[in-house]
Structures are given as structure tokens and as C-alpha cells.
Amino acid sequence: MLAWFDANGRDLPWRRTHDPYAILVSEVMLQQTQVERVIPRYCEWLERWPTVEALAATPIAGIIRAWQGLGYNRRGVNLHRAAQHVAEHGWPEDLTELPGVGPYTAAAVSSFAFGRPTLPVDTNVRRVQERTGHDFSPVAGQALMDLGATVCLARIPRCGVCPLAAGCASRGRRYEPLRKQSRFEGSFRQRRAGTLRLVSAAKQPLAELDAEAVDSLARDGLVEVEDGVVGLPREATIRA
């Protein structure tokens, strides 16, 4: 499999660095967002904020505006809070202490940035594990991710080109389509996104906005309401 990865692995910009900040940015952006959408935004982000200190020093309003279009804007807020924590205290031994960092993201940064013997198990890695019935070494992490993303596909695996096919108990199987995410068009997520775009462009009177969306955004720390006017939060309102 590692030989297959050497010949077929994806050339992704976050694989060219061991900087924990850069890898954290990629992992947060990749949560529920396709790789193709993330690549240009990741490069733009690091050009604008090349270090964790640069990001930490930026007012949160700028972060929220820069995150527009990536979806799940709370991720950008948590990334900013994590950068502030690291800038002040350094990288914690337990990375799940950082805002928005769960077990998978912690394992990915630990492995790819710090070289710790940890296998990050995302959806693709778990699929390969379950279908083959094998355990894998942490050195196979990125190879497993690419195998699951490009060969061991969710519905119709490409078993004919899989380097693990000879020993795979699931070879040749087909799978039912996964449950699709609820439609964005007409959803409450769309209402939230539209409201946040308006507020990102300029402060808005609360009376002219979707009050339910504003309330939800405010709970997530993405907007604040003051004297009937809705704007992006001031840095002091979300500092950890």
C-alpha cells in the first residue's frame, strides 16, 4: 500500500509541511468540506496569516469575513480561539484542549506535525479498516486516507486497482448509497448563511433581519446585538 501511495498519492499543499499551525488550518477547513474547495482557500489563508501569532492577533471580525463560503462558520471562530491559546501558552500536550479540536483533528496534527505514532481515523480510513478487517500502522495514515478517497469508495469500490484487494474480504461488494446531507436550499443553514453575509458586509438593524437566524448566530459567537443593531463580534466577546 505504501508503494501504491508513493506512485498515486495526492499532492496536497498541507502535505508539504510539518508546521502544526498549517496542518491545523487544513484539518479544520477539511471538516465537512471537499478537498477541491479547501485547497485555494487554504493557500490564501496561509498567505494572509502565515503564523499562529499572526492569526491570533487578528480581530475576529476579519476571520469571520475570510471564512465566508467555507461553511460552518463556527469552525473559523474556534480556529481563531485555538490560535490565541497557542500564541499565549504554546501547543498543549493534549491537543483536544484547543477550542474546536476533537479526537480526530488532534490525532491528525499529532501524527502529521509532531510525528507521534498515532493513526488518525477519518471516514475514509475507517472504511478501509472495516472492509479489509486489518489494523494499520500510523505510518500508513495518509496512504489510507487517499485509498479511501480515490479507490475504496463508499458505494462502488475500485477493487481492480486496489493494492489491498488480494487480501480483502469485501472485494467485489457494492454498497447502498449513504444518507445524503439535508438540502441547503431553503434550509435554516441557508438563512443563517445569508444573514451572516449581510452582517459581514455592514452592521444591520435587527428589525430588518431574520431574528431566528440572528439568535442562532449570536449563540455561536458569530454576531452580536447591541441597541437593536447586529454586527460582527468584537474580539473581547469571544476571547478564551
Least confident of 8-12, 25-29, 71-75, 81-85: 71-75
Which is the CATH superfamily of the domain at 19-112? Hypothetical protein; domain 2 (1.10.340.30)
Q: What is the CA radius of gyration of the chain?
A: 20
CB-based contact 192:200 (threshold 8 Å): no
The three grid cell numbers given for residue 210, joined into one nine-digit string:
431574520
Q: Which residues pair with 225 in a beta bridge?
A: 230
Give the pLDDT confidence of 167-189 residue by residue, as tens digits.
999 999 998 876 666 677 778 88
Sequence ranges of the chain with CATH classification 1.10.340.30: 19-112
Torsion angle (degrees, nearest 10) of CA 240, 237, 76, 142 = 10
| pLDDT single digits (tens) 84-111 | 999 999 999 999 999 999 999 999 999 9
What is the rounded CA–CA span in Å between residue 126 and residue 9? 18
The residues annotated as belonging to the active site are: 27
Q: Specify the pLDDT at position 179.
A: 65
User: Is pLDDT of 239 > 70?
Assistant: no
State how far the Cα of 210 lies from the Cα of 220, in Å rounded to an integer.
Answer: 16
pTM of the model: 0.87
d(CA 140, CA 144): 6
**pLDDT, tens only, 144-169:** 999 999 999 999 999 999 999 999 99
Report the C-alpha gap between 73 and 43 in whole angstroms: 18
Short-list 144, 72, 76, 80, CA closest to 108: 144
Phi, psi of 230 (to 5 degrees): -105, 125
